Amino acid sequence: MRYDDPQRPRSGENEQPLQVSGSPLPAVTLIAPGETPGSWLACIHAHRGGNRFGYHTAELGDLASFTREWLEDPEATLARYFQYFGPETGVAKRANEPVPALPDLWD
């Protein structure tokens, strides 16, 4: 699904595009020029589920090509370059479940 597709989920207040799963899309940060000329080391802090995030890095050879791919399909681009395949299944659901009540110590 394209980044600007009207069917893509969006956050409430600022209307930022989200992943198809409803998780936030990670921001791609360029760290430094890579080992080979014309490449960049980049990183993302990707949503794992609940309040957990993971750090992924990739070497981007062509920023223009990466940008085109990102706009065409962010999820596929994250999987291809950063080996990030979305949040872990079930983790976000478990994080939102209520904590069971403990027995009263004075009863």
Give the start-to-end residue ranges of the domains of the chain: 1-89
Residue 13: predicted pLDDT: 78
Check pLDDT > 70 for residue 94.
Answer: no
d(C-alpha 101, C-alpha 2), whole Å: 44
d(C-alpha 43, C-alpha 103), whole Å: 45
d(C-alpha 74, C-alpha 3), whole Å: 6
Q: Which of 31, 9, 29, 34 is nearest to 86 (CA)?
A: 9
pLDDT tens-digit map of 17-69: 999 988 889 999 999 887 778 889 999 999 887 788 889 999 999 999 999 99
User: Given pLDDT bands bounded at 50, 70 and 90, which one contains residue 70?
Assistant: very high
Q: Are 87 and 21 in contact (CB under 8 A)?
A: yes
User: Given pLDDT bands bounded at 50, 70 and 90, which one contains residue 100?
Assistant: low
User: Given pLDDT bands bounded at 50, 70 and 90, which one contains residue 91?
Assistant: very low
Query: φ, ψ for residue 45 (rounded to 5)?
Result: -110, 95
Contacting residues for 5 by C-beta, under 8 A, at least 6 apart: none
